Amino acid sequence: MFAKKFRWYILLSLTLIGLLSFKIGDNYFEIAKNLELYASVFREINTYYVDGIDAGKLNKKAIDEMLKTLDPYTNFISEAEAEDFRYQMTGQYGGVGSQIGQKDDYVVITDPYEGYPAYKADLRAGDIILNVDGKDIKGKSTSDVSKLLKGQAGTALKLVIKRNGQELQKTIVREEIKVKNVPYFGLINPETGYIKLTGFTQDAGKEVRDALVSLKKQGIKQVILDLRGNPGGLLNEAVNIVNVFVPQGQQVVFTRGKVSEWDKSYETTIGATDPVIPIAVLVNRGSASASEIVSGTIQDLDRGIVIGQRSFGKGLVQSTRPLAYNTQIKITTAKYYTPSGRCIQALDYSHRNEDGSVGSVADSLKKEFKTKNGRKVFDGGGIDPDIKVELKPYSQITQSLLAKQLIFDFATQYRNSHDSIVEPKLFSLSNADFEAFKKMAESKDLDYSTQTEKSLEELKKKAEQEKYFDAIKASYESMKTQLKRDKQADLDKNKLEIISLLEEEIVKRYYFQKGRIEASFAHDLEITEALNILQNPVRYQEILNPPINPKK
């Protein structure tokens, strides 16, 4: 039976290849040969391998490994993965409406969405999930628990959670969850609006348009569009978002691929909500794909300024094609280009190194393009901001606090002992609260080494190798002791950095995503830079309209 199916499969494949040979050309024989080889290998393994095989799993692995040689965005989507793929495209799923995370042997609630079932059932960040519908979830992964929490809207599930040492039972009715593309918009000050865009699923353009309309009614004179950490999504929604700020009939992006019939130019289709309001677009290394279409087009048209760090550099377009047995393939079919003609793809997947690694486009190969006003922009490496903001990395003690989840744990304790706090923009942690945090942190093994300590240990190793360590041992021990004393003071040295993270995490426990965003305004370097420029119209215009022949 197995052999007959494969013979039929090979005949069908050969027939299709024959019909399409005018497209494939001389390569069709190689494809036919390799299909037959693959079927032969599969048949032999199924017949003679010492243990039984899972044919579906083996085939999925083979397909996945084949696609890995192309690019990370060309993926096979099995029938079982269809629901997750639908969520990526639409932002919709049936569930309880909360993010979850791993903590030791259990999964915890990390971010319930305001207004959804988890919120209605008073699930809180920090709640430890012990049981889902009678199933003990100790040792389960977040993926395992996520599957248990998701389900058809209207169905109920029972949870047993642990909060502040007590077990609580919760009955939750699942709903259709629609994760908003714009989780927050509001006023930073009376004249400046802020729109946070986290995705490009269906209706992203409408959400941005509605946000701007609401902010304009509140009297704003300028707006910040935050695309930091936004990985992209639907291309047409990127066009719709540009259309909020750019008039009808303007090219936003065009695509070019192997199948020339699919090449397409995308233009704005309706009137702009506001074609003149000053805009600052925030980007970082996590801004990719559709985020780069929006920021790149705004930059190319000199419609606004781009602030932050160089974006990710994904200039590849994917199309989804249906396959047999309710499966699909998401395949890279084209590259996209912003209005100036540049493609911002950073990695060249078509020319891999011998070890399989992928190199970036060399600076010497990057081409120069011009914006509408004649400013220089370049392809081959993401969107380079008009104003770069260098971010200082977190100190090593802060990194350790985050890795050990101590900031998360302190916020959980704080929420359990405080019923309410003031509004996000006014909340600040007291010195007594910080001392309480220090006491908690000092009781834990933070397990980190400063660069100085690492250098000292390297010095010790070299001294031992060269037989000099005995001569410097006393000095070594003295420096090691002194560094240990300094390490104990690291919490105070990095107080402002740590407090800002604590305040955001605590505020989120009461005011959810909206509150965390508002709490971040005061110490957000990119927002501060955007405000400095937007509130200085002369500087804003100088960035967008540089002198034609600048003096050297």
Catalytic residues: 289, 300, 314
Instruction: Please give the structure tokens belonging to residue 533.
Output: 């420029």
User: Do residues 424 and 137 lie in contact, with contact meaning Cβ atoms separated by under 8 Å?
Assistant: no
CB 100 within 8 A of CB 159: no
Instruction: With beta carbons less than 8 A apart as the criterion, state whether 142 and 101 touch.
Output: yes
> In the chain, what is the straight-line distance between the N-terminal and C-terminal CA atoms, in Å?
79
Q: At 545, which amino acid appears?
A: N
What is the 3-state composition of the chain as percent helix, strand, coil, each rounded to the nearest 5? 45, 20, 35
In whole angstroms, give the CA distance from residue 117 to residue 512. Answer: 14
Give dist(CA 510, CA 502) in Å, integer: 13
Contact 70, 332 (CB under 8 A): yes
Give the pairing of strands 316-322 and 328-337: antiparallel
Amino acid at 185: F
Cα 492 to Cα 180, 434, 439, distances in angstroms? 38, 9, 12
8 A C-beta contact, residue 386 and residue 306 = yes
- Determine the longest span between alpha carbons in the chain, in angstroms: 82
CA–CA distances in Å: residue 63 to residues 9, 105, 229, 423 = 16, 33, 30, 52
* DSSP element (H, E) containing 322: strand 316-322
Structure tokens, 450:
């400063």
Cβ neighbours around 325 below 10 Å, total:
7
Cβ-proximal residues to 388 (8 Å cutoff; 6+ apart), any chain: 308, 309, 310
d(C-alpha 207, C-alpha 185), whole Å: 10
Q: Where are the alpha helices (DSSP H) in 91-141?
A: 117-120
**3-class DSSP state of 164:** coil
Rounded Cα distance between 385 and 381, Å, is: 12
